[in-house]
Amino acid sequence: MSIIVVALLAVVIWGASPVAAKIAVNDLPVMAVAVLRTVLGGLAALPVALVMRVPLPKARDQKIVLALSGFCGFVAFPILFTTGVQLTSANHASMILASLPIFTGAIAMAWDRKKPLGFWWIGCAIALVGELVLISAIDAGPVNPPSLAGDLLVLASNVFASLGYVAGGRLQRAGYPSTGTTFWGVVIFAVVLIPVTPFVVSDIDVNVVPLAAWAGVAYLAIFVTIVGYVMWYWALGQGGIERIGLIQFLQPVSGVILALILLGEQFSLLFAAASALILFGVWLAIRAK
């Protein structure tokens, strides 16, 4: 039961990420937000990893998997996702992220060379139809309107996020701690991104950017990048990637609620219908497990 609770907490934390990203990119350059969330997360994670004496993986294959997990989770996903969020609404981004369990389960089964059951395919098909309806539903009104390009970028970011989750879950299952996967993953790629940081922040006027934008970056760097990842990798390793990964279908709930409260984003019947298709499709995939 504790595994489910930890996974749910991680999902709630991540559910707010589209809103935090939207608030940040409203006043900061996209690449600055994407890079700063990893660099600041790495700077915060390094002393914690050293104090806790979190070891680096020793086996060569584990080092490769750690690099894969870190690149997907802390470089590829933030860049694609943040760019997509700038071009679409937080509501759309939240619901598109609802398909993460399907991507995660598909990659995990391909990695293990498993064949999914028939209802899994049916669930995937229904969820993907819902995604197509959602992407075509440009109906959020004048505030933070969605776009096709933004929706597709968020959808593409799902692939990298899911691959990073599966790699991190494999490390946990192999006995490497989830804290190591998160802390050293973000530290390594923070070091990689530090040289480009001056270029992406050069046009920022600190005196003009509101506190809310910096708060959005801080939330993405600390809670989403560190706290959420530690909890999620631990839950994946303890409870199984295919099973726990499906809990992510609840992630859009907090995102949609916060988008309504903080951003004033409304949703229509078409948006609700598309969301229902996505969640129903993922639910069928869960039943297939």
* Per-residue model confidence as pLDDT tens digits over 180-198: 888 999 999 999 999 999 9
What pLDDT score does 139 carry?
Answer: 54
Listed residue (82, 241, 81) closest to 160, CA to CA? 81
The answer to whether the predicted template modeling score (pTM) of the entire model surpasses 0.75 is yes
What pLDDT score does 289 carry?
Answer: 57
What pLDDT score does 140 carry?
Answer: 46
What's the gap between Cα 223 and its chain centre? 12
What pLDDT score does 179 carry?
Answer: 82
What pLDDT score does 95 carry?
Answer: 79
What pLDDT score does 280 carry?
Answer: 83
What pLDDT score does 232 carry?
Answer: 80
Please give the Cα distance from 76 to 21 (Å, whole number): 15
What pLDDT score does 229 carry?
Answer: 79
Q: Render pLDDT for 71-81 as a digit per residue (tens, 0 to 9).
A: 999 999 999 99
Please give the Cα distance from 142 to 121 (Å, whole number): 37
What pLDDT score does 137 carry?
Answer: 63
Write out residues in the chain with pLDDT < 70, as ranges.
1, 137-145, 241-243, 245-246, 248-249, 286-289
What pLDDT score does 147 carry?
Answer: 79
Structural tokens at position 136: 């075509």
What pLDDT score does 186 carry?
Answer: 93
What pLDDT score does 81 carry?
Answer: 94
Domain residue spans in the chain?
2-288
